[in-house]
Structure 1
Amino acid sequence: MKHLRIVLTLLMTILIATMAVATFVEQRHGASYAATHVYHTSWFFALWALMALGGMAAIWRMHLWRRLGVMLLHAALLLILAGAAASWLTSSEGTLHLRKGQPADCYTIKDSQLSAALPFQQMTLQGFSVVCYPGTEAPQDFQSQVTYITADRQHHEATISMNHILEVEGYRFYQTSFDPDRQGSVLTVNYDPWGTPISYGGYVLLALSMVWLLIDRRETFGRLLRSPLLRQGATLMLLIVCSMSVHARSVPTITAERANRLAEMPVVYNDRIAPLNTLARDFLLKLYGRTSYKGLTAEQVVYGWMQRPETWSDEPMLLVKDSKLRQQLGIDGKYARLADLFDNTGQYRLQQLIASGGETKAVRELDEKVGIILMLTEGELLRPASGVAINQHRLVAEICYNRIPFVSLLFMTNLTLGILAFCLLLIPAFRFRHCLWQTVCLLGGLSWLVLVAGYALRWYISGRIPLGNGFETMLFLALVLQTVGVMLHRRLSIIVPFALLLSGFTLLVAHLSEMNPQITSLMPVLQSPLLTIHVSLVMMAYALLAFTMMSGIVALIAHHRGHTGHEELLTVLSQLMLYPAVFLLAGGIFLGAVWANVSWGKYWSWDPKEVWALITLLVYAVPLHRTTFLAPHRPVAYHLYMLIAFFSVLMTYFGVNYFLGGMHSYA
């Protein structure tokens, strides 16, 4: 068994390293290059096959058939790999271009000039339409109305749209694109008679086996739940702080009373109907970094710019964070005036910088701010909504949402309470400890209720589950973290500081990364309940993995201070979080594959986000297989591994977006 462990560990390391390197190769040379030289090669297929054979050998050597839940889980993974192999060997994919009224009887095979016959006599496009969100030009859905004649000369009608496919005799047709004149439609044709059913069978078996392992008291997770260490408390952590400033001077604009009345005016903004308050707030945040300017509301600032642009051009309200750019422009302080960006002859100074090779991210950001001002003053930004039904209650709710900075308040509150909770755990003999602890728990509960209310309000305003962009997923992640803390705070007191600190840091990231969060309409392909569940499962997994990372930090500090009892407790707590985290991540990944198959006809495309999610799953699966891999056994080694492993989560969530890109950047 020792030699098998070495071989499996080596194979797992090579597999993870290969996929990680391949994502950077794709970023440099393109997706087709990575597919040709890595993902679709025989040696990469052989690497997975060897991993599967090694897994089967381990199952045999360890007699896993005696533990039915474990056996079924590994059988499910082997079945999923078999399905992937079947898809690779037997599936075909192509494109069908239809023009209105012109019958077609064949499609073009992908990556070739060859044609293949359709599984019926012919298909004809009767019409194509783009359904837009009410009052906007943003597409809500793409629909192709087609007719097709089967071999028995029966005529059939069907509508093919996003997330609504047509399946005929094993062939599936997906709405992919359309011609600019909207008289033609492009469909993806997919034929995968073996891979899809085998893979789906594996997904179902995987879900059943994971639930089994979580509820079986004889398995590892059940034993961890009964550990006497969970009844104890423990340990420590760090801190964080912030500050603000103000100033004043009168500038021409409308009165505050009129601005308040105009706040509810419906406008077309970001391809949806929104109150003027949202547009004004985002405008001011983008320019100034705050939601008010010298005591003026965002609406007053917008109307000031519209009525007296020549006066407002002298207001220092364009935030320039880059000190080098401020020095180049001769600006004192952090804010520039619009007038500062033009020389005495009226030449635009940023354009001169760009022309001389001085274009940087800071220059592009400042240029974008100037562009937004020009759009406003020229009447292109503010467009009143007319001729559409307006939900006045939603407009009022959105104004309330905009005016309550609950994300900013909650990240400061949660971080403060989290630090206090850790200090109270550190000093168990403190006289007023119990009273303060109850106060922390009460305030933490109130903070959670505010977060739930804010998330629910955003849900109501947008008319969908808020999981469509980075800000919303961070909001959901913070909600999951705090919910875990609320649910377990009586049984596991140590979970309280973890939940508060992690949710606080998550809300801080949301606050910093999305200074102008926008409740936008979703792209048509994102309007699927499968996507919502997929993102929810993955984000819950990341939340639990964040707990294991925090446990690792605290455990290493405890080890350094000689608190061995704390190490053991934190090891149990970390493992308790690890099992559901890995299962949720696996479920989220494979449910995402089902959604992709429904949307595009391909359940796995080796996109960088998919690859790094799979890498994260494999990395965290290692410590669950201590008898199979050369996994860390001692508490210190285990916690160090969990701390390092969290970098795969950071790479998956943040790194892919910033360094690699890919199909998952649509949100």
Structure 2
Amino acid sequence: MHIAQKLIKSVIEGFCNFWVTIVLLIAYGSACGVATFVENDYGTPSAKALVYSTQWFDLLHLLLVLNLIGVLFFSRALQRKKYASFLFHFSLVVIFIGAAITRYYGFEGVMHIREGEQSNTIESQDEFITILAKVDEKLYRAFFPTTITPLVQKRFQQNLPFEDGNLEVQYVDFIPAKDKIDADRLKVKVSFKGESKELEIVKNAGLEKVMPFMLGGKKFALEWGSRTIVLPFSIALKDFQLERYAGSMSPSSYASEVAIMDPLNDEEKPYRIYMNNVLDYGGYRFFQSSYDMDEQGTILSVNRDLGKIPTYIGYAMLTFGLLWAMFAKNGRFYRLGQYLKTQNLILAFAFCFGILNTIPLQATPQMINQQTQENQQVKKEAEIDKTEQVKKSHSTQNPHNNEMFEIPPITTESILDLIKNLKEKSDAHTQKFGRLIVQDFGGRMKPLDTLAMEYVHKMTKKDGFLGLNNMELFVGMMVYPNEFKKVKMLALSTPKLKEIIGVNKSEKYVAFEDLFANNTYKLTNFLEEANRKKPAMRDKFDKDVISLDERVNAAYLVYTAQNLKILPDFSKESDKWFTPSEAIASFDKENAEQLQKLFSAYFNSFHFGLVENNWENADLVVEALNGIQNKFGSDLIPPKLQIDLEIFLNHYNLFENLMPLYICFGILLFTIVLVQIFRHKSVDILPSRIVHWIIALLVLTHTIALGLRWYVGGHAPWSNAYESMIYIAWAAGISGVVFFKKSYLAQSMASFLAGISLFVAHLGFMDPQIGNLVPVLKSYWLNIHVSIITASYGFLGLCFMLGALTLVLFIFRSPKYPELDRTILTLHTINEMAMILGLAMLTVGNFLGGVWANESWGRYWGWDPKETWALISIVVYAIVLHIRFIPKGNNPYVFATLSVVAFYSILMTYFGVNFYLSGLHSYAAGDPLPIPVFLYYFVAITILLIVLAARKGDLPAPKLP
């Protein structure tokens, strides 16, 4: 008995150690990562069948929790009075309990109701085979769950007792759908009382399409798909309401006015369900999910979750425990700070609590990319009518100018004089014209100056083309389309495409008229071929064809003024604004004639202004248009200050201009510090302090610019990919200036990272336009959730930079430079502190995103690739922070190496999921883009750095007080 007890104790002690923890975490992260790729290629049901819903994955969760409990017990955290550490670690156990309850006892489904009707049935999310039997005009049902996907087919053989015999249903074969129109089919063998039949069942065919059959003298039918669940009460849809952004098809919000019809209560209970406002009744939660295309019906997500309360308690314990751990005197973070004090590097601990409040509790990467994806989709849908006109013109004739207006004649030979006059004479007038308000295709009201900037950037990929500002070029194209379509202003780069068009290979731009020959669009065949390919299969030529076609469409809209929606509805019956041609075609005859005269007068007066430098008449037309806007559309016009600030942001490009300053001063500070270290001198010299204050000034400017964009856009500036990158850059800058202001090396890395983040933000695949929010993001959770997770990327990015710098210093370790060891230990300490902050924010933000999701559509975790990779990143950084408990793991070289490697999980979370995996938060929809070539060099340099630093990586970790 004594031997058995010792054996059991040995097994328990062997299981409850950090080696097992690391192995389990690696296995868990790997399983989650593989599942995301399975989901992308084979669908969510396959990922659930192979990983998420399997017993082995549940067992892995259980082993992690048991190991955590054991490690907490053997570490004697309570005996050492490390209450904060115990609290946030034990919170994971509570979260697991809540998740387990949800996993086994929770329910998710969908309820569909048409306006004026009521429903008491829910369609389950899980799949079942349902057996229907009719006896004496009564319908009997029985069902059992199935797991049938294109990748996984779990065979089944079910015996169901029925009257005086058993009905047997046996799996035979699975026939996957051939295309999106087709449906999956399942072959089964049904036996009853000695008779058998093979049947083919169509997935989710519906009760009305089920074919009954006779077997053993009884009438049966089979269904495969969602199971219908009958509620003890009904919900009646009184009215479905859909609000759109002014003058567009973009939804602003949607809501369902419903009434609860409960037999136990004769009284009807009215309720309004809309995004982020749910209905709780009878133990079920109803969420506004979607709606019918005819806007006469609503689709509600339905949830019944007994695990919600323990899960939320766990989230609260986790958040409080992590915040407490930042200030606990026996905690790791505090002791690291004390060590830095001994190195004469006083950290700004007083800012910790404040920064966590000013950085709106950053959150899970859950909805930020969905916003960009949906905005892009809305924009495409809204512009389809316009682009279709362009497509038609491609195959028929060369688009030309607005024939309804009298445009002054001008000879082609004078185009250079025209451009010269535009440069010298039109600036003051076009500035006034640029202050007019225009309604874009997404319904956003903005100054015409912004629209001009967006279109000119699209066509020329630069500011100041031909020496003209954006408004001068925009108005010039609109007034003189026949002249400007001869100007080479549409950017392209592929030599093959230049050869096809017939321009010199040294040209960087092509003219609009170069793309047409004999009234035929030269790109038609190549464009169709490129669009047939998946994005991953498109080469440089294909992508350039598509990009050039988009620039042609943009130019066409400018030439024909079909993007100039500057005229409000004179009848005030709608919020839609009209282009000049739309208004003349739609308004009554008298107003249409007046408008035609007004715009003809403008075209002539603009030409007169260029020739005589007299802009009085042109200015009067602009004033008349301004008066029309204020008289008929004043409710939609933004405040004057907002217009002024948006034009200010357009002209000064604060974020783009900050990019080289961040990088240059970061490199300068790094160079100064490095030189002083190798000269064995103090780094706290006047040049270092001056650069420090310059970088602080850059961060202050960055903060003001974010505030201006917030005010102009009307929402927090982290709602799409571009905004999240400029916010990450800000978080990186703040981390250096506030948290590590006495470590010039850390600050130089933070400044450099901020500049690189802004550089990425201004690459071609990022859209800097300010857009309207989709309904799900119109919530206070946007500020709480998204800001925390995005800021965590800034801190973890700083860890990457500090880790890389530490490896470089390891390479140069030598007895000649004794200060290097002290610098490495200091950087190691700062790196660990930054990682603790970053991981805490990432963890809290991820779980707060779960709360947002649960309050928005009824589930706080759905294994979406974005949230799953955020979880994987948490696991990766948890391994890095706990590696010190492993023998030989408490080493600055090991920590620096892992902090560099771990950042690849963040890159995958932020970029990889967005462009290579499909999900709620991705742009790629499952069609991956080619992997950038520079990434291979990036990985190669990382490996080389790690290998070279390993030779001198024997420096022990600092001893903390």
The bucket for the TM-score relative to the shorter chain is over 0.9
Aligned-partner Cα distance in 2 for 1:438–1:6: 45
State how 1:263-302 maps to structure 2 within 5 Å: 263-269=434-440, 270-302=442-474
Q: Is 2:96 the counterpart of 1:81?
A: yes
The one-character-per-residue Cα deviations of 1:2-57 (angstroms, maximum 9, x if unpaired) are 66433332222111111111111212112222122221222222221222122222
Q: Assess if the C-alpha contact under 8 Å between 2:662 and 2:751 holds in 1.
A: yes
Query: 2-side partners of 1:511 and 1:232: how far apart?
Result: 39
Q: What is the distance in 1 between the residues matched to 2:464 and 2:20?
A: 62
- Give the equivalent residue in structure 2 for 1:612: 869
Per the alignment, residue 236 of structure 1 pairs with none
1:154 aligns with 2:267: yes
Counterpart of 2:141 in structure 1 is none
Greater fraction of residues in strand:
2
CA distance in 2, matches of 1:653, 1:290: 27
Match of 2:431 among 243, 247, 260: 260
CA contact (8 A) 2:688 2:744 kept: no
* Aligned AA (1:77): L
Read off the aligned partner of 1:367 and give its amino acid letter: D
2:910 equivalent among 653, 660, 664: 653
Counterpart code for 2:512: L
Task: Report the counterpart of residue 754 of structure 2 in structure 1.
Answer: 503
CA distance 1:515–1:212, change in 2 (3 Å) = closer
* SS class of match (2:254): strand
Give me the whole-angstrom Cα distance separating, in 1, the residues matched to 2:35 and 2:521. Answer: 43
1:375 to 557, 567, 573: 557
Match of 1:45 in 2: 58
- How far apart are 1:317 and its partner, in Å? 1.1
AA at the equivalent of 1:21? V
1:361 aligns with 2:609: no
State whether residues 445 and 636 of structure 2, in contact with CA within 8 Å, keep that contact through their aligned partners in structure 1.
no
For 2:557 and 2:93, the matched residues in 1 are separated by 56
Conserved 8 A contact 2:240-2:298:
yes
Change (3 A) 1:410 1:230: farther
CA drift at 1:524: 0.3
Where 1:665 maps in the other structure, the secondary structure is coil
Unaligned runs of 5+ in 2: 1-12, 127-224, 346-414, 569-632, 814-819, 925-961
CA distance 1:90–1:516, change in 2 (3 Å): closer
Q: Check the 8 A contact 2:914/2:923 in 1, yes or no.
A: no
How far residue 643 of structure 1 moved from its aligned partner, in angstroms, is 0.6
1:573-593: CA deviation from partner (whole Å, max 9, x where unpaired): 111111111111100000000
Deviation at 1:413, TM superposition (A): 0.7
CA contact (8 A) 1:81 1:199 kept: yes
Quick one: distance in 2 between partners of 1:356 and 1:103?
Answer: 49
How far apart are the structure 1 equivalents of 2:14 and 2:903? 28
CA distance in 2, matches of 1:457, 1:355: 42
Match of residue 349 from structure 1:
522
Q: What amino acid sits opposite 2:846 in the alignment?
A: I
**Cα distance in structure 2, aligned partners of 1:650 and 1:310:** 47
CA 1:103–1:489: 2 relative to 1, 3 Å: closer
For residues 52 and 671 of structure 2, what CA distance do their matches in structure 1 show? 50
Which runs of structure 2 are paired with 1:72-151 in the superposition (5 Å)? Answer: 72-111=87-126, 112-120=225-233, 122-150=234-262, 151=264
Q: Secondary structure in 1 aligned to 2:303?
A: strand
Deviation track 1:378-424 (CA, whole Å, cap 9, x = no partner) reads: 44322115233312321221111100121221111111101110111
Return the alpha-carbon distance in structure 2 between the equivalents of residues 18 and 176 of structure 1.
30
The answer on 1:316 being equivalent to 2:488 is yes
Task: Compute the TM-score of the two structures, normalised by the length of structure 1.
Answer: 0.93
* Aligned partner (choices 764, 768, 775) of residue 524 of structure 1: 775
Cα shift at 1:477? 1.3
Q: CA offsets per residue over residues 232-287 of structure 1, 9 Å max, x none?
A: 58xxxxxxxxxxxxxx9444696323211111110011320010011100000011
Which residue of the other structure, out of 179, 199, 202, is the alignment partner of 2:292? 179
Aligned match of 1:197:
309
Do the aligned partners of residues 393 and 119 (structure 1) sit closer, same or farther apart at CA in structure 2, a change above 3 Å counting? Answer: farther
In structure 2, do the counterparts of structure 1 residues 385 and 197 end up closer, same or farther at CA, with 3 Å as the change threshold?
Answer: farther
After TM superposition, list the pairs within 5 Å mapping 1:485-504 onto structure 2. 485-488=736-739, 490-504=741-755
For residue 215 of structure 1, the aligned residue among 290, 308, 327 is 327
Contact 2:486 2:512 in 1 (8 A): yes
Q: What is the distance in 2 between the residues matched to 1:69 and 1:403?
A: 50
Residue 637 of structure 2 corresponds to 390
Shift of 1:130: 1.1
1:256 alignment partner AA: D
Residue 624 of structure 1, CA deviation: 2.4
SS of corresponding position for 2:119:
coil
What does 1:557-572 align with in structure 2 at a 5 Å threshold? Answer: 557-562=808-813, 563-572=820-829
| Larger displacement relative to structure 2 (249-258 or 399-408) | 249-258
Alignment partner, residue 588 of structure 1: 845
Aligned counterparts of 1:339 and 1:507: Cα–Cα separation in 2 = 36
Q: What's 2:283 paired with? A: 170
Change over 3 Å in CA distance of 1:271–1:462 after alignment to 2: same
Counterpart of 1:550 in structure 2 is 801
Q: In the aligned structure 1, how far is the partner of 2:860 from the partner of 2:886?
A: 29
- Alignment of 1:326 with 2:498, yes or no, is yes
Per-residue deviation at 1:203?
A: 0.1
Equivalent-residue separation in structure 2 for 1:520 and 1:8 (angstroms): 45
The Cα of 1:228 is off from its aligned counterpart by: 4.1
Corresponding residue of 2:675: 427
What's the offset of the Cα at 1:541?
A: 1.3
Q: Deviations over 1:35-87 (max 9, x none)?
A: 22221222222221222122222222222332222221121101111211111
- Aligned residues of 2:669 and 2:744 also touching (Cα < 8 A): no
Residues 1:492 and 1:231: Cα distance change in structure 2 (over 3 Å): farther
Q: Partners of 1:455 and 1:356 in 2: how far apart? A: 42
Name the CA distance, whole Å, in 1 between partners of 2:328 and 2:682.
42
Q: Which residue of 2 aligns with 1:403?
A: 651
* TM-score normalised by the chain length of structure 2: 0.65
Inter-partner Cα distance in structure 2 for 1:522 and 1:545: 28
* 8 Å contact from structure 1 (residues 284, 292) kept in 2: no
Amino acid corresponding to residue 95 of structure 1 in structure 2: V
CA, structure 1 residues 547+432, in 2 after alignment: closer, same or farther (shift >3 Å)?
closer
Instruction: Output the amino acid matched with 2:313.
Output: G
Q: Distance in 2 between matches of 1:74 and 1:331?
A: 66
Q: Which amino acid aligns with 1:155?
A: E
1:336 aligns to 2:534 (yes or no): no
Q: What is the match of residue 41 of structure 2?
A: 28
State how far apart, in whole Å, the 2-side matches of 1:498 and 1:304 are: 45
Cα distance in 2 between the residues matched to 1:257 and 1:200:
59
| Residue matched to 2:29 | 16
CA distance in 2, matches of 1:649, 1:129: 40
How far apart in 2 are the matches of 1:406 and 1:601? 40
Q: For residues 723 and 683 of structure 2, what CA distance do their matches in structure 1 show? A: 38
Do the aligned residues in 1 keep the contact of 2:722 with 2:767 (CA within 8 Å)?
no
Deviations 1:493-518, CA, capped at 9 Å, x for gaps:
33321221111111111122466511
- Matches of 1:219 and 1:184, distance apart in 2: 55
**49 and 330 in structure 1: CA distance in 2 versus 1, 3 angstrom threshold:** farther
Conserved? CA contact 2:274–2:287, under 8 Å:
yes
One-letter amino acid of the counterpart of residue 606, structure 1: W
Q: Which has the larger radius of gyration?
A: 2
Aligned residues: 650
| 1:479 maps onto 2:494 in alignment | no
Secondary structure of 2:851 counterpart? helix
Cα offset, 1:631, TM superposition: 8.1
Aligned residues: percent identity? Answer: 31
1:431: Cα distance to partner?
11
Other-structure match for 1:227: 339
Mapped to 2, the partners of 1:506 and 1:470 lie a distance apart of: 12
